[in-house]
Amino acid sequence: MKKWILPIVCMILNVVLFIGNYKLHQSNLELHESNVELYRQNQATEEAFEHRYDKYEMNIADYVDMADYPLKQEQCEENRYYEKRESIYMSAVSYPTDVVFVGDSITDRFAWEECYPDITVKRRAIVGDTTAGVLSRVDSILATQPSKIFIMVGTNDLYQLSKDKELDEEAYDEVVNNYIAILDAFAEGAPDATIYVESVLPMRELDQNKMERLDYNELIQRFNKDLVMIAEDHKVTYLNLWKVLADEDGTLREEYTMDGLHLTPQAYREMKPYVDTCVYE
Give the model's pLDDT for residue 79. Answer: 67
Give the 3-state secondary structure of residue 196.
Answer: strand
Residues comprising the chain, all counted: 281
Question: With contact defined as beta carbons under 8 Å apart, do 142 and 190 qualify?
Answer: yes
> 24-30 long-range contacts, Cβ below 8 Å, gap at least 24?
none
Burial of 140 (0-12, 13-18, 19+ CB in 10 A): buried
**What is the C-alpha to C-alpha distance for residues 230 and 222, in angstroms, rounded to an integer?**
13
For the domain covering 95-280, report its CATH number: 3.40.50.1110
- Number of DSSP helices (H) and strands (E) in the chain, helices first: 11, 5
CA 38 to chain centre: 27
Tell me the torsion sign for CA atoms 151, 143, 120, 40. negative
Looking at the DSSP bridge assignments, the partners of residue 102 are: 124, 151
Question: Closest by alpha carbon to 275, among 106, 157, 128, 82?
Answer: 106
At 40 the pLDDT is 53
pTM above 0.75, yes or no: no
Residues 77 and 127 sit within 8 Å (Cβ to Cβ): no
The closest of 279, 191, 177 to 235, measured between CA atoms, is 191
Q: In what order do the strands lie in the sheet with 97-103?
A: 121-125, 97-103, 146-152, 194-198, 237-239
DSSP element (H, E) containing 146? strand 146-152
Spatial contact of 207 and 249, defined as CB atoms under 8 Å apart: no
| Interatomic CA distance for residues 124 and 175, integer angstroms | 19
- In the DSSP assignment, the letter for residue 207 is -
Q: Does residue 140 contact residue 124 with C-beta atoms inside 8 Å? A: yes
> Domain locations in the chain?
1-57, 59-91, 95-280
* Per-residue pLDDT tens listing for the chain (281 residues): 556 666 666 677 776 676 767 776 676 666 666 555 544 544 443 443 333 333 334 454 454 555 566 666 666 666 667 777 777 787 776 678 999 999 999 999 898 988 999 999 999 998 889 999 899 889 889 999 999 999 999 999 998 898 888 899 999 999 999 999 999 999 999 999 999 999 999 998 765 555 556 788 899 999 999 999 999 999 999 999 999 999 988 899 999 998 888 899 999 999 999 999 999 99
State the number of CA atoms in the 13 A half-sphere of 189 facing the CB: 20
- Answer whether 234's CB lies under 8 Å from 182's CB: no
Q: Which of 135, 114, 136 is nearest to 123 (CA)?
A: 114
